[in-house]
Amino acid sequence: MNLESTVRGLHPLEIKVLLNFKGSEEITKNDLMERLSYNEGQCNQAFSWLTSKNLLKEKSRTGRIFYELTELGIKYQKEGTPEENILKLLSQEGPLTISEITKRLNLENRDVGSAYGKLSKEGLLSMSEKKEVFISCDNFEEKLKDLRNLLNKLFKSGRVPEESLREEETEILKSLSRKRSSSRGVFKILEREDIIYTITEAGIKAKELLKAGGITGEEIGAVTPEILKNGEWKNKRFRSYNINIPPVRVLLGRKNPYGEFLEKLKDKLSSLGFEEFDGPLVETEFWNSDALYMPQFHSARDIHDVYYVNNPSHAKEIEQPYLDQVAASHENGWKTGSRGWEYKFDRDFTRKLILRSHGTVLSAKTLTHAKVPGKYFGVVRCFRYDKVDATHLADFYQTEGIVLGENVNLKTLLGLLKMFAEEVAGAKEVRYVPGYFPFTEPSVEVHIKHPVLGWFELGGSGIFRPEVTEPLGIKVPVLAWGLGIDRMALMSLGLEDLRELFSNDIEQVRLRRRK
Amino acid sequence: MPKIEITENLLTHFAGRKFSEKELEDIAVVAKAEIDGRNEEEGLIKIELNDTNRPDLWSTPGLARQFRIFLNDKEYCYNFFSGSKETKEYGSRVIKVDPELKKIRPFITAFQADGHEVDEPQLLDLIQSQEKLCWNFGRKRSSIAMGIYRADLINFPVHFRAADPDLTGFIPLGEEKKMSLREITKKHPKGVEFGWIVAPFNKYPYLEDNSGNTLSFPPVINSAHLGAVKVGDSSLFIELTGTDLNSLLLAASIAACDLSDAGFTIKPVKVEYPYETSYGRDIVTPYYFQKPVVLDIDYSNKLLGEDLTIEETAGYIKKMGNSIAVEDKKIILNPPPYRNDFMHPVDIVEEIMIGRGMNSFKPVPPEDFTMGKLSSTEEFSRRVRDIMVGLGYQEMIYNYLGSKHEFVEKMNIDSDDIIEIKNPMTENFEILRNSILPNLLNSESVSGNALYPHRIFEIGKIAVIDSRENYGTSTKNYLSLLLSDREAGFNEANSHISAVFFYLSMDYSLKEAEDPRFITGRCANIIFNGEVIGISGEISPQILENWGIEMPCTGVEINLDFLIRS
């Protein structure tokens, strides 16, 4: 950081130090306290900030010893020491037993005991045959004078440096100071270092810059309602901030970026004239496959391709006349002009409950109440009996839909696919390839050249077979389509593994961004 | 979808020409095939066949035939097919069927192929296409199983019998000792794999020749003697047994056409049934059973969006290898003997599309005006989601499948209304979720290191058993949220619920509730229009312990359907 921006970012505590001292001057904490009225905390902040910015440097440090009163010391100063109080009591009342003293002075036994021990050793007290304590010296006040003076002196000036005390005083202080293990000391010994600072070359230049800029350290820090009200800001400047401090992280409410991707897809499809459909997660074999003219013996309908519901295992009934009409179209083509699959349709199996394995279920169900012309879509959760890995999920979203119209045909199907390629995937190049789906004929796959992903299969489509549409009451051609949007979703979120779309990890989801 | 691996040499041999990589990709479209990979060094090509109704394409000769027809514009002619009007010479080649098989495995078709020495690539291709045919088209051999034998060792007639599984035995392929049919289903690897097909029956299907030599135990395993075909054999007997006669006739026709293309002479076999079939009691196979399909070109033009003449249309259909007759505006198609996928005239429309080429159809933008619209669930969910985001919550999206351990045991609830999967693949996916709270707690349990507070939610579907419904289950739209922090508590959550309802312009009230998932006295039902639509409370420390969570959590769950409907 250059000096200008350092100077701009200086705190008033730092500014005042720089402005108030000369280049060669030695600066100590006491100086700041005296000349700038800083408290100890402010002194420490100013020194630590200025030295870290290399505007001050440490010249020397010396160790010093100070004494101050403990809480007990303060109490003794105010209420008298046990010794003082015992002598005072005895001088007023005459001889008393230890327990009487303890009671009268409201002291603890051991305090009275140790005070008596000390005073009798010094010859100030003695004990009579009646176990009564009496004063055995005339000038007892003189003997206690030194301690009293020290208590008063420390009480008055707080912290007293060792060098300002006499040797006898130091000895008393040491003998009555708190030992590490005891909490009952009267005095506390403090070891402090006195550090002397001087202003550096950079500091001198910073000071010049401050002067040139007219910065005094009296600038306003915070804009408050009070100064707005009283107008105090009018003749003052505001302190500049260091705008390069890294911002603090904010936790915000957010949509899931995969959810946003799906939302955008739904908006796009509805903007293209499609109406959204929705339905239950549990479906019947009838709607999941039979209504789509997938024969009940088809290899894709083995137990290992869909999830069956354990209990209840079957729907109560399948809606009529669809059941009869679909069953007939499987058995003999019904009125569709088809020969059918030529097998006996199983009406028990068709009621079996499964987790829907593709969105086309909802396309089929929509046919029973669809408008003509009509366009429908769904982005719906589907379930597959699949081993889960980076490219396969057991439960995932599928995007599917249908277009009904008197005049829809293969060429409008291609036009629809082209529209999806351009509008949904942003592709310029499109290739159509014949495909195969049991429920559409003809069937077309659309491959696109995605601006980032290159060529891939965007989706499958076709015209619903008459064996699908007519039993469900639809006489017009129906285009059916499905889009594979997973790869685009991963790309848009900067992911490579489909499982991450459904991540449990809060931090991962919080930090995920769309491209 | 079947995937096959073929050798480049064999493809070149059958197609009569070489294909560059690009040429192969282009021509593959004609067979709805995709080139999946190519091993240049070994000359192998992996191909995926998309059309599950075209088993004729699942072999090198079959695929090459489709390419050759398309490129040379010439249909194929096979002269070994019998039919309803004509029966081909079968000599002494007869199979007699046991009446008891009617309920076990009623049908068999067969033919002999002579006059060509089979080499290794052809033998491997034959075995591969047989396996694909029987696995994908024959439902894992249950409806079609094929056996290939050395015809020169067979003494006709062959007997297709229902045999006692304990008293009948032979030396199966891959073994040295005689085993009973039952032993084979228990001990032989193929028996273990396919024994389930015959398991429900007292007697098992069994094929032997007139001298009592075993051909096979269909659909399980061939005999080690007659059923061991090697490179260099030049007289083969092929039979197919199964449950659906049309599928068997088709499969036999496909195999016969493939072997004919390879240079064999196909010799018909007569099957004598003691019961009626769709084609009589005696059927000489290969047998042409397909029926003509009639297309009106107005229909094809309407679906294709074109105005093709009858000549043009006929030309494109023929280019795909179909033989046709034209009558006025109608085209009568007789399917090739190796195909049976023309169920409806619409199937011919696709032939026209491929025959003419996809690129000849110009995309037309959709013309009809329709109104786009989001579902009411989606519209409402978005309103709620916006409020939740405004309250500082991160939206999560979870899988709907889960384990009983997480959704029942860790939640201390009973599993009465939970939808279980009958055939779970793993215990991670054995139920459909009945609540979103376990998902949210799972997130919390793995996110202890993420900066607090945690405020997460999901709007999604759950499903429960519901006997009032036709499906016995019902799917509901839920909002669930979880707060996790030192101070996360009931009152904060209630402030958030209050905000959600305020901005939805709706009212709610709370009523004290008891629920094992929440702390007693700090849990309430959410009441809307007099009905309980949700629950809110501080998650019980026992539940938190079950999940290994060491931070207080408060959860809320609301059934949005009540609000959407109101």
The pLDDT tens digits for B313-326 are: 999 999 999 999 99
Q: Quick one: pLDDT band at residue A464, thresholds 50, 70, 90?
A: very high
The partner residue sitting opposite B370, judged by closest CB among A375, A381, A441, is A375
Q: Which of A272, A281, A497 should we substitute to test contact with B (largest number of B Cβ atoms within 10 Å)?
A: A281
- CATH number for the domain formed by residue range(s) A82-143: 1.10.10.10
What's domain B3-72's architecture? Answer: 2-Layer Sandwich (3.30)
pLDDT > 60? residue B340: yes
- Please give the pLDDT value at position A162: 83
The partner residue sitting opposite B343, judged by closest CB among A274, A340, A388, is A340
Return d(Cα B49, Cα B62) in angstroms, integer.
Answer: 12
Q: Which of B70, B358, B403, B480 should we substitute to test contact with A (largest number of A Cβ atoms within 10 Å)?
A: B358
Task: Give the domain ranges of chain A.
Answer: 3-55+200-235, 82-143, 259-511
Judged by CB atoms closer than 8 Å, whether chains meet at A282 and B473 is answered as: yes
- CB-count burial class (<10 Å; 0-12, 13-18, 19+) for A380: buried
Counting residues of chain A whose pLDDT is more than 70, the rounded percentage is 98
Side-chain-facing half-sphere of B74: CA atoms under 13 Å: 6
Q: Domain spanning A259-511: which CATH class is it, in words?
A: alpha beta
Count of CB pairs separated by less than 8 Å, A with B: 284
**What is the 8-class DSSP label of residue A27?**
B
The partner residue sitting opposite B363, judged by closest CB among A411, A433, A506, is A411
Return d(Cα B91, Cα B75) in angstroms, integer.
Answer: 29
Helix ranges (H only) for B16-81 are 21-28, 60-72
pLDDT > 70? residue A48: yes
* Residue among A466, A467, A464 nearest A480 (CA): A464
- Please give the pLDDT value at position A192: 80
**Shortest Cα–Cα distance, B329 to chain A (Å):** 17
B278 in contact with chain A, both atoms CB, cutoff 8 A: no
* Residue among A254, A262, A266, A264 nearest A512 (CA): A254
Side-chain-facing half-sphere of A181: CA atoms under 13 Å: 0
Beta pairing partners, B478: B460, B559
Question: Closest residue of B to A301, CA-based?
Answer: B139
Convert the pLDDT of each residue in B24-54 to its tens digit. 999 999 999 999 888 888 889 999 998 888 9
- Please give the pLDDT value at position A303: 60
pLDDT > 60? residue B409: yes
Q: Which of A264, A410, A469 should we substitute to test contact with B (largest number of B Cβ atoms within 10 Å)?
A: A410
Judged by CB atoms closer than 8 Å, whether chains meet at B446 and A504 is answered as: yes
Convert the pLDDT of each residue in A376-429 to its tens digit. 999 999 999 888 998 889 999 999 999 999 999 999 999 999 999 998 888 889
Judged by CB atoms closer than 8 Å, whether chains meet at B422 and A308 is answered as: yes
Judged by CB atoms closer than 8 Å, whether chains meet at A507 and B447 is answered as: yes
Question: Closest residue of A to B134, CA-based?
Answer: A299
Contacts of A281 in chain B (CB under 8 A): 400, 432, 461, 463, 475
- Mean pLDDT within B357-379: 94
- Please give the pLDDT value at position A399: 94
Convert the pLDDT of each residue in B253-299 to its tens digit. 999 999 999 999 999 999 999 999 999 999 999 999 999 999 999 99
Convert the pLDDT of each residue in A337-379 to its tens digit. 999 999 899 999 999 999 999 999 999 999 999 999 999 999 9
Judged by CB atoms closer than 8 Å, whether chains meet at A309 and B302 is answered as: no
Counting residues of chain B whose pLDDT is more than 70, the rounded percentage is 99
Judged by CB atoms closer than 8 Å, whether chains meet at A269 and B372 is answered as: yes
Convert the pLDDT of each residue in B450-491 to its tens digit. 999 999 999 999 999 999 999 999 999 999 999 999 988 999
Convert the pLDDT of each residue in B106-157 to its tens digit. 999 999 999 999 888 888 888 888 888 888 888 888 889 999 999 999 999 9
B294 in contact with chain A, both atoms CB, cutoff 8 A: no
Return d(Cα B11, Cα B61) in angstroms, integer.
Answer: 7
Question: Closest residue of B to A467, CA-based?
Answer: B344
Mean pLDDT, chain B, as a whole number?
Answer: 94
Counting residues of chain B whose pLDDT is more than 90, the rounded percentage is 82
DSSP per-residue string spanning A60-98 = EEEEEEEEEE-HHHHHHHHH--HHHHHHHHHHHH--EEH
- Mean pLDDT within A178-188: 69
Task: Give the domain ranges of chain B.
Answer: 3-72, 94-285, 293-360, 376-565
> 């025959």: which residue's tokens?
B355
For residues A458 and A421, is the Cβ–Cβ distance under 8 A? Answer: yes
Convert the pLDDT of each residue in A77-127 to its tens digit. 888 888 888 888 888 888 888 888 888 888 888 888 888 888 888 888 888
Convert the pLDDT of each residue in A118-164 to its tens digit. 888 888 888 888 888 888 877 777 778 888 888 888 888 888 888 88
Counting residues of chain A whose pLDDT is more than 90, the rounded percentage is 47
Q: Which of B58, B295, B423 should we substitute to test contact with A (largest number of A Cβ atoms within 10 Å)?
A: B423
Q: Quick one: pLDDT band at residue A183, thresholds 50, 70, 90?
A: low
Question: Closest residue of B to A466, CA-based?
Answer: B346
Contacts of B425 in chain A (CB under 8 A): 385-387, 394
| Beta strands at B158-163 and B94-97: parallel, antiparallel or unpaired | parallel
CA B189 to chain CA centroid, nearest Å? 25
**Shortest Cα–Cα distance, A49 to chain B (Å):** 29
CATH superfamily of B94-285: Phenylalanyl-trna Synthetase, Chain B, domain 3 (3.50.40.10)
Helix ranges (H only) for B79-119 are none
* Residue among A408, A425, A409 nearest A488 (CA): A425
Beta pairing partners, B457: B395, B481
Q: Quick one: pLDDT band at residue A281, thresholds 50, 70, 90?
A: very high
Question: Closest residue of A to B421, CA-based?
Answer: A309
Q: Which of B249, B304, B374 should we substitute to test contact with A (largest number of A Cβ atoms within 10 Å)?
A: B374
pLDDT > 90? residue A216: no
- Please give the pLDDT value at position A284: 97
**Shortest Cα–Cα distance, A439 to chain B (Å):** 12
- Please give the pLDDT value at position A179: 62
CA B1 to each of CA A189, B54, B55, B58, B254: distance values in angstroms, whole numbers, following the listed order: 89, 11, 11, 10, 18
Whether the domain at B3-72 and the domain at B293-360 fall into the same CATH topology: yes
- Please give the pLDDT value at position A428: 85
CATH classification number, B293-360, choose in 3.40.50.12500, 3.65.10.10, 3.30.160.20, 3.30.56.10:
3.30.56.10
CA dihedral A323, A326, A327, A329 (to 10 degrees): 160
Q: Quick one: pLDDT band at residue A29, thresholds 50, 70, 90?
A: confident
Convert the pLDDT of each residue in A247-258 to its tens digit. 999 999 999 999
Whether the domain at A82-143 and the domain at A259-511 fall into the same CATH topology: no
CATH superfamily of B376-565: Bira Bifunctional Protein; Domain 2 (3.30.930.10)
* Residue among A10, A24, A15, A36 nearest A196 (CA): A24
Contacts of B50 in chain A (CB under 8 A): 435-436
- The DSSP H or E segment spanning A454 is strand A454-464
Return d(Cα B181, Cα B163) in angstroms, integer.
Answer: 9
Q: How many CB atoms lie within 10 A of CB A142?
A: 9
Mark which residues 8-37 of B lie under 8 Å from A by CB.
29, 32
pLDDT > 70? residue A182: no
- Please give the pLDDT value at position A219: 85
B142 in contact with chain A, both atoms CB, cutoff 8 A: no
Side-chain-facing half-sphere of B283: CA atoms under 13 Å: 25
- B226: which residues sit within 8 A by CB, 6+ positions away? B149, B150, B153, B154, B209, B213, B214, B215, B216
Beta pairing partners, B420: B431
Both structure tokens of B505: 């312009």
- The DSSP H or E segment spanning B480 is strand B473-484
* Residue among A10, A46, A51 nearest A31 (CA): A46
Judged by CB atoms closer than 8 Å, whether chains meet at A414 and B363 is answered as: yes
**Shortest Cα–Cα distance, B356 to chain A (Å):** 12
The partner residue sitting opposite A309, judged by closest CB among B345, B378, B473, is B473
Mark which residues 166-195 of B lie under 8 Å from A by CB.
none
B368 in contact with chain A, both atoms CB, cutoff 8 A: yes
What ipTM, to 2 d.p.? 0.91
Question: Closest residue of A to B477, CA-based?
Answer: A280
Helix (H, G, I), strand (E, B) or coil at A57: strand
- Please give the pLDDT value at position B360: 95
Contacts of A393 in chain B (CB under 8 A): 399
The residue count for chain A: 515
**Shortest Cα–Cα distance, B199 to chain A (Å):** 19
